[in-house]
Amino acid sequence: MKKPDKQFSRQIIAAVEDLIFGAKSLVQNKYRETVNTDYALFMEAEIVTALLAIPIERISEAGLGIRTTVIREAGIDNIAELLKLSKKELEKIQGIGEHSAFQAMAVAQNFEDSLRKTLFPRLNPEAPTAFTDRLVKNLYCILQSQVDYEICKTILEEFENHLYQELELARRTQQSFRWLFSGKETKEAAYNSLNNLTRFLDSDAGRDLERSVKHYRLIQATPLSEIWLDFTSNAAAYYVLLESITGVKADRQKRQGDLPQELVETVEALTLNTTLMKSSLRGYQEFGAKYAIVQEKTLLGDEMGLGKTVEAIAAMAHLQAVGQTHFMVVCPASVLINWHREITHHSVLVPYTLHGSERESSLIKWSENGGVAVTTYATLRVIAIPEQLTLDLLVADEAHYAKNPDAKRSQALYQLVKRAKQVLFMTGTPLENNLQEMSSLIMRLNPEIAEKINKKEVLTNEYQFRLLIAPVYLRRNRDDVLNELPELIQKEQWLDFGTQEEKDYRQAVLDGQFMLMRRLAWTGAGVKDCPKLKRLIEICVDAKENGRKILIFSFFRDVIDTLSQALVGTSLEPITGSVTPARRQAIIDDFNIAPPGTTLICQIQAGGVGLNIQAASVVIICEPQIKPALETQAISRAYRMGQTHTVFVYRLLTDNSVDEQMMIMLQNKQQLFDSYARDSVIAESSYQAVDVSEKSIIDEILMAERKRLNLKFEKTALQNKLLN
């Protein structure tokens, strides 16, 4: 038998060997081990940096009488330097005895131990280090090669041993002397093996393996600049992966809100079925989904930006995996499209949008096929869900929309609640004005608990209140679970009125035009006569120079028009109440890919709720709002899971104006929320004592402003009289 062409056989054998080597490198990759190693090195560097920032004087906080002055005089300035010393070296310092040295070392060690328990890595794209470069690259390679990993793993399991056997025989075609003295059967076997290898390379499995190996090698060669860019747009996935590999988690009790340990253990006993999920969950998100499933009718009050949407999708995915079929999401129109996208992005569940002209046909398809119906509070009032259909899970997003039991949208939702096996209310602001709002929501989920918490003896007993609402209310705050979030810096920018603005403002106060008073600081003729506008433009210019994008919020349409004209060329189409949900999402998509310095102006009621806009890291609020929740929601569009840059919030305020009274009112309302709902804890007073209506607040503000301006007029008249 004629020996095959040596060059041809060499190419085939080399190609198969290279594919096997590449595929095995991917399947057996050491990236996870490297992530653990790099994470440990990174954390050590972070701990040392933190200890260097702790001055030596801090050890005196233990109240042990340690003489820190003599330690500093010996050249030991911080805790890190102290920990480098041995106890004997410390004793050599004049004025430090054996006992003091032991105490000082113990206190310093406590600082280090505390940091090791609480410090969480923040991968900062603005200040990368050798450690974070390696860490983020390894995480990138794992994330980007997940599909390739599965393909290579499956093909190797089926073909690897067979390919090795074929290679062993085919190599005989490369050995001239051995080929010469081989028998006919051996030559035929070698020839056939070479043909089999050729056919494998041309097969679907061979081509899939080749594509995956090539893609994997391209991933490995990705420049760091591109990797960091991917991180900034997909940070949440990186931190989920980092958490799953290293096992790093915040304190469990903090992650589970204010729940009793017995309830925590009951929830944790459930194994969440994630077979229908495309995305991984953070530890606290998995707990939230399980809590909703186990407790059946719950109010999830996680702070904005923690991923409540994903928790709800995970709950629905679990229920469908175990045989449930029909789910419904009711949400504000502004986030309708976002819900549809999130469901398809994070799961294999099928969403049906019950909104607009095709709502009836979508309703029929959903009723017949099952899946997730997504509709709005307004549409819910006019669609007829078949009576025989039972909802397996009803999700009400931004559930505070239904806090008023007399409103038609609330009543429509409440009727649906009665038909649902399980209900999940979601809102980061379960309490906006008074405790009755929160009680009203809980009443629809568990009337027995709602009745109990309205009793005076419960309202004045913090522990009892926590215990009672635990089965129905779960809240986690950003500080408890998103340790990787960058800094949030909030700045109040107090400015004067323009000359004409001040004259018009006085008249508006006398006329009792409250809403006009709030926006008159934006009516000056151009930048020179409008201090607020001038400062806003300065902030935008500075943001562009620092590579940032800007979100601007105002309550008023005419203010938005003024800003759009002033920022023409750098601003996208504004998001207002008249912009359709689909168009809102398209604007946000454009904003995400726009260059630094781009501004997105939003009416705070439309753009401040439920949207993910992490591309922005500068937020400007044009005037104080009636409710702190409006401002918190707006800020949370940018400051949320996945944000990698420090977020700057600027509140533009006018001195000697209604803004001062509004800020006081906001602080009072925020204090009410913090006391009653932030940590699921009730303060020692009845809600009747803090139930203040918006109308009474506005009347009070108007009265205060009239009094202030009248006093000022009287003083000016007296001064004029004396001068004359």
Residues 700, 595 within the same domain: no
Measured distance CA(554)–CA(576) in Å, rounded = 10
Residues 267, 409 within the same domain: yes
In this predicted model, what pLDDT tens digit does every residue of 161-215 receive, in sequence order?
989 898 888 887 666 656 655 666 767 877 788 889 999 999 999 999 999 999 9
Which H/E stretch holds residue 148? helix 146-170
Placement of tokens 């186990």 in the chain: 294
Q: What CATH number is attached to the domain comprising 68? A: 1.10.150.20
Q: With 0.75 as the threshold, say if the pTM is over it.
A: no
Measured distance CA(113)–CA(47) in Å, rounded = 10
Q: What is the mean pLDDT of residues 689-705?
A: 60
Confidence tier at 669 by pLDDT (50, 70, 90): low
Residues 6+ apart with CB under 8 A from 60: 66, 68
Diameter over CA atoms, the chain: 129
- Taking alpha carbons only, the member of 118, 139, 146, 143 closest to residue 38 is 139
In this predicted model, what pLDDT tens digit does every residue of 435-473 receive, in sequence order?
566 777 888 888 888 888 766 555 555 556 667 777 888
- Average of per-residue pLDDT values in the chain: 82
Measured distance CA(434)–CA(442) in Å, rounded = 14
pLDDT computed for residue 722 by the predictor: 31
Measured distance CA(612)–CA(275) in Å, rounded = 26
In this predicted model, what pLDDT tens digit does every residue of 24-60 receive, in sequence order?
988 887 777 888 888 888 888 888 888 898 888 888 7
- 699 alpha carbon, distance to own chain's centre: 38
Give the sheet arrangement for strand 550-554, strand by strand: 488-495, 647-654, 618-621, 550-554, 599-603
Residues 94, 219 within the same domain: no
- 413 alpha carbon, distance to own chain's centre: 27
Measured distance CA(140)–CA(143) in Å, rounded = 5
Measured distance CA(696)–CA(676) in Å, rounded = 22
Residues 23, 53 within the same domain: no
Domain residue limits at 547: 485-656
- The answer to whether residues 494 and 655 touch, using CB atoms and an 8 Å cutoff, is yes
Q: Is residue 152 part of a domain?
A: yes
| pLDDT winner (highest mean) among 130-134, 263-267, 720-724 | 130-134
DSSP secondary structure letters along 350-372: PEEEE-GGGHHHHHHHHHHH-EE
Which H/E stretch holds residue 662? helix 658-673
- The answer to whether residues 304 and 284 touch, using CB atoms and an 8 Å cutoff, is no
How does strand 371-376 pair with strand 351-354?
parallel
Residues 164, 119 within the same domain: no
Placement of tokens 């931004």 in the chain: 398
One-letter amino acid of 364: I
Final residue before a domain boundary, out of 630, 656, 682: 656
Residues 524, 638 within the same domain: yes
In this predicted model, what pLDDT tens digit does every residue of 553-579 receive, in sequence order?
999 999 999 999 999 999 999 998 888
Q: Is residue 671 part of a domain?
A: no
pLDDT computed for residue 628 by the predictor: 76
Measured distance CA(338)–CA(84) in Å, rounded = 53
Task: Name the more confident of 659 and 248.
Answer: 659
In this predicted model, what pLDDT tens digit does every residue of 211-236 receive, in sequence order?
999 999 999 899 999 999 888 878 88
Measured distance CA(433)–CA(427) in Å, rounded = 14
Final residue before a domain boundary, out of 74, 97, 123: 123
pLDDT computed for residue 675 by the predictor: 45
Measured distance CA(480)–CA(487) in Å, rounded = 14
Residue 237 reports pLDDT greater than 90: no
Residues 411, 543 within the same domain: no
Number of H helices, E strands in the chain: 35, 12
Residues 6+ apart with CB under 8 A from 684: 459, 460, 462
Residues 155, 88 within the same domain: no
Measured distance CA(123)–CA(644) in Å, rounded = 8
Q: What Rg, from alpha-carbon coordinates, does the chain have? A: 32
3-state helix, strand, coil in the chain (%, to 5): 60, 10, 30
DSSP secondary structure letters along 151-204: HHHHHHHHHHHHHHHHHHHHGGGG-HHHHHT--HHHHHHHHHHHHHHHHHHHSH
Both tokens of 191, joined, read: 């020839």
Residues 529, 452 within the same domain: no
Residues 490, 506 within the same domain: yes
Number of domains in the chain: 5
Q: Is residue 688 part of a domain?
A: no
Task: Name the more confident of 336 and 677.
Answer: 336
Q: Is residue 240 part of a domain?
A: no
Q: What CATH number is attached to the domain comprising 401? A: 3.40.50.10810
Residue 482 reports pLDDT greater than 70: no
Residues 600, 706 within the same domain: no
Confidence tier at 64 by pLDDT (50, 70, 90): low
Measured distance CA(134)–CA(512) in Å, rounded = 62
What's the CA dihedral at 490, 492, 674, 515 to 10 degrees?
-130
Both tokens of 75, joined, read: 């050249």
Q: Is residue 664 part of a domain?
A: no
Q: What CATH number is attached to the domain comprising 519? A: 3.40.50.300
One-letter amino acid of 448: E
How does strand 488-495 pair with strand 423-426?
unpaired
The conformational region for residue 619 under phi > 0 = left, psi -120 to 50 = alpha, else beta, is: beta
Task: Name the more confident of 61 and 417.
Answer: 417
Q: Is residue 676 part of a domain?
A: no
Residues 444, 524 within the same domain: no
Confidence tier at 585 by pLDDT (50, 70, 90): confident
- The answer to whether residues 339 and 397 touch, using CB atoms and an 8 Å cutoff, is yes
Measured distance CA(243)–CA(245) in Å, rounded = 6
- Taking alpha carbons only, the member of 341, 354, 356, 358 closest to residue 380 is 354
Both tokens of 172, joined, read: 């005989």
Phi, psi of 375, deg, nearest 5: -140, 175
Q: Is residue 451 part of a domain?
A: yes
* Nearest-5° Cα angle at 144, 305 to 163: 150
Measured distance CA(685)–CA(379) in Å, rounded = 39
pLDDT computed for residue 140 by the predictor: 92
Residues 6+ apart with CB under 8 A from 53: 78
Placement of tokens 């109440």 in the chain: 577
Q: Is residue 244 part of a domain?
A: no
Residue 671 reports pLDDT greater than 60: no
Final residue before a domain boundary, out of 171, 200, 233: 233
Residues 6+ apart with CB under 8 A from 26: 145, 148, 149, 152, 212, 213, 216
Residue 239 reports pLDDT greater than 90: no
Confidence tier at 687 by pLDDT (50, 70, 90): very low
